[in-house]
């Protein structure tokens, strides 16, 4: 009897571990990426791994960061699943459970830092966003670095924070 109960538990475990549904705006963005994947001859897979959830603006509501470089498109052209460049989109969570887009920028990936009460989002950028001049870019090529996003409550948007010392890209 114990073996049967344990087997039933193991079979039901994936059902218990299923992720909560994403807000409509986030799910729609993933659907668009999946359509692009299919149009390129691919099959979308593991796209939920491209979305991270954390409170990024300090309001106590989960926000969503979508890094299309983490989106997998098997068999399609290499437009997804790399850190060679893509888009990072941030959606702020709304009190009624929805979400709205509050940031998009091309990036070499993203990372969430969970130090402290509130998570901090970082994106990988290059060139002038890393403090290089156009002459340095021409002479030395693009230098990559990491920049944090900061919340602008008045505009209800995230912005790249250029006031902090740039960190090397990880």
Domain assignment present for residue 82? The answer is: yes
Tokens at 159, concatenated:
């912005």
Task: Return the exposure string of 4-19: e unless at least 16 CB atoms fall within 10 Å of the residue's CB, then b.
Answer: eeeeeeeeeeeeeeee
Please name every residue paired with 99 in a beta bridge, in sequence order, or none if there are none. Answer: 93
Domain that holds residue 94: 21-168
Q: What is the DSSP letter of 40?
A: T
**pLDDT tens string 94-116:** 999 999 999 999 998 899 998 77
Domain assignment present for residue 151? The answer is: yes
**pLDDT tens string 119-159:** 999 999 988 888 888 787 777 777 889 999 999 999 999 99
Looking at the whole model, is its pTM more than 0.85? Answer: no
Domain assignment present for residue 150? The answer is: yes
Give start and end residues of each alpha helix (H) in the chain: 2-16, 24-39, 134-140
Domain assignment present for residue 160? The answer is: yes
Q: Is 71 helix (H, G, I), strand (E, B) or coil?
A: coil
Domain assignment present for residue 69? The answer is: yes
**pLDDT tens string 24-46:** 999 999 999 999 989 989 998 87
Q: How many domains would you assign to the chain?
A: 1
Domain assignment present for residue 118? The answer is: yes
Tokens at 98, concatenated:
């929805």
Domain assignment present for residue 40? The answer is: yes
Domain assignment present for residue 70? The answer is: yes
């Amino acid at each position: 009897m114990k073996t049967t109960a344990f087997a039933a538990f193991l079979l039901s475990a994936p059902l218990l571990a299923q992720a909560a549904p994403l807000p409509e705006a986030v799910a729609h963005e993933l659907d668009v990426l999946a359509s692009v994947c299919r149009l390129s001859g691919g099959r979308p897979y593991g796209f939920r791994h491209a979305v991270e959830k954390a409170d990024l603006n300090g309001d106590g509501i989960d926000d969503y960061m979508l890094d299309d470089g983490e989106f997998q498109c098997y068999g399609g052209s290499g437009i997804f699943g790399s850190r060679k460049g893509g888009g990072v989109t941030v959606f702020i969570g709304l009190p009624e459970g929805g979400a709205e887009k509050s940031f998009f920028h091309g990036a070499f990936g993203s990372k969430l830092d969970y130090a402290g009460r509130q998570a901090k989002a970082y994106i990988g950028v290059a060139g002038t966003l890393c403090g290089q001049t156009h002459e340095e870019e021409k002479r030395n090529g693009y230098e990559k670095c990491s920049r944090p996003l900061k919340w602008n409550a008045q505009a209800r948007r995230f912005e790249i924070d250029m006031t902090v010392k740039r960190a090397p890209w990880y």
